Amino acid sequence: MKLPFAESFKIKMVEPIRRSTREEREEWIKNANYNLFNLRSNQVFVDLLTDSGTGAMSDRQWSEMMLGDESYAGASSYYKLKNAIKHITGFDYFLPTHQGRAAENVLFSALIKEGDIVPGNSHFDTTKAHIEFRKSQAVDCTIDEAFDTELDYPFKGNIDVNKLEKVLSNNPKEKIPLIIVTVTCNTSGGQPVSMKNMKEVSAVARKYGIPVYYDSARFAENAYFIKMREEGYGNTSIRDIVKEMFSYADGMTMSSKKDAIVNMGGFIGFRHKEVFDKASVYNILFEGFNTYGGMSGRDMNALAQGLYDGTEFDHLESRIGQVAFLGQMLRDKGIPVQYPFGGHAIFVDAKRFLPNIPKEEYVAQTLAVELYIEGGVRGVEIGSIMADRDPVTGQNRYPDLELMRLAIPRRTYTNDHMRYVAAAIINVFERRDKITKGLKIVKEAPILRHFTVELEKV
């Protein structure tokens, strides 16, 4: 018998979680205005809202916390992190920030001006918001295969190089400050970008003289997929793959709350000192002095160790294996989920799950609310609420995909929790014909509205 994968850790500390009744959950979600972000965490049994900052740190990370150097300037923790970033990514210069969007804020302040165009593969919501906030435009150049949730294609995060080249050749160079490649591509379902594609993007970008930055939150998961799926990389170590990936970029933004397995933190990596110098000014203005940015010394230490933890093959195998374990249980029951499974989450195709709900009634949000009521499982909508209104026309944007994302925190839940989640989804699926009414918005913010939106049942 082939031995199955098993978690690459054992548990040293536990946090109790509590089940609730359906009646309690119906009351709680109503009081939360049908916005899952408004629930209290103790009203949730299995929390798959996000894999961001929700992972469990290792004993090595916790011991690093005790060694943190809290000096304002020149702390040893800064140099420890600098060495880890250089060792793992190859970038010589870096700025610590308090999380990923802060890295975007600082970098974009240095690079993007009004009227600019920023091509990439399905920009992440905060990335897009930071671009649009600067009255610039994010242009999605993802391959068409990404939008077919059934199609078995190994690298659905890839950039369509023809689409990219069209944008680069149709616009003046001064209007395109950078290209952003998101690895893995969160918005298109945690789907990886191939090494070949990164090389091609880099070649096109060089031809037009445009820098390439990686939005790198899940760079290690991307490397794992390259190792498992891309020809020629089966015997290459994760760390060597990571090094090669970043060799095609001019810099990176990082939300360390993902693959570096810390609860808070981020950074920007740079190849060129000129851009680093320019961004440093904004880092000091928005985040803090360059040797701590938005982080305490102990947090930088834990992050440095997390970069090593997160790029271990055994960790990635059990983490991505657990995501696929959940996905396969759903797929076996005929539930429409994106395939191949992404690295950090399972994405349920809500339009196909609930065909009776019109898109104006927020299909994926409706499904996420139903799942919460069913089992106290919290997922998140990646659909038209998150897509915000068009900043120019003020009209709702309806993306091709309405997804309910179930993001799996790293090293946090067991496979029994995954079985519980699968059972709750299967129960909703079996009563899907009775779900005929969706939700309507009663209050919303002008940007990133999904965090605070208030809804009621139609």
Ligand X SMILES: *Cc1c(COP(=O)(O)O)cnc(C)c1O
**C-beta of 43 vs 52, nearer to ligand X:** 52
**Token code pair at residue 130:** 């930071």
> Which of 82, 156, 344, 450 does the annotation list as catalytic?
450
Measure the CA–CA gap between 78 and 304, rounded to whole angstroms. Answer: 9
> Which of 45, 93, 94, 124 does the annotation list as catalytic?
124
Residue 410 touching ligand X (CB under 6 A): no
Residue 124 touching ligand X (CB under 6 A): yes
Measure the CA–CA gap between 377 and 55, rounded to whole angstroms. Answer: 17
> Which of 258, 315, 344, 417 does the annotation list as catalytic?
258
- Binders in 429-448 for ligand X, by CB under 6 A: none
Measure the CA–CA gap between 355 and 334, rounded to whole angstroms. Answer: 15
Which of 126, 136, 158, 338 touches ligand X (CB under 6 A)? 126
**434: Cβ–Cβ under 8 A, 6 or more apart, which residues?**
none
The residues with which 377 forms a beta bridge, in sequence order, are 46
Which of 35, 197, 222, 255 touches ligand X (CB under 6 A)? 255
**Token code pair at residue 214:** 């990686």
Q: Which of 290, 320, 315, 301 is nearest to 256 (CA)?
A: 301
**C-beta of 103 vs 428, nearer to ligand X:** 103
**How far apart are the two ends of the chain, measured CA to CA in Å?**
52
Strands in 117-120's sheet, in edge-to-edge order, are 93-97, 266-270, 251-255, 212-215, 179-182, 117-120, 137-140
Measure the CA–CA gap between 315 and 306, rounded to whole angstroms. Answer: 11
> Which of 69, 116, 125, 388 does the annotation list as catalytic?
125
CB 289 to ligand X: min, Å: 20
Task: Tell me the site size for ligand X, rule CB under 6 A.
Answer: 15
Residue 105 touching ligand X (CB under 6 A): no
The residues with which 270 forms a beta bridge, in sequence order, are 93, 251
| 450 is a catalytic site residue | yes
Q: Cβ distance 316 to 238 under 8 Å? A: yes
Residue 142 touching ligand X (CB under 6 A): no
Residue 89 touching ligand X (CB under 6 A): no
Helix (H) or strand (E) holding 119: strand 117-120
CB 293 to ligand X: min, Å: 13
Residue 311 touching ligand X (CB under 6 A): no
Residue 35 touching ligand X (CB under 6 A): no
- Binders in 53-82 for ligand X, by CB under 6 A: none
Residue 215 touching ligand X (CB under 6 A): yes
Residues that bind ligand X (CB under 6 A): 52, 99-101, 124, 126-127, 182, 186, 215, 217, 255, 257-258, 266
Which residues are identified as catalytic?
72, 124-125, 215, 217, 258, 450
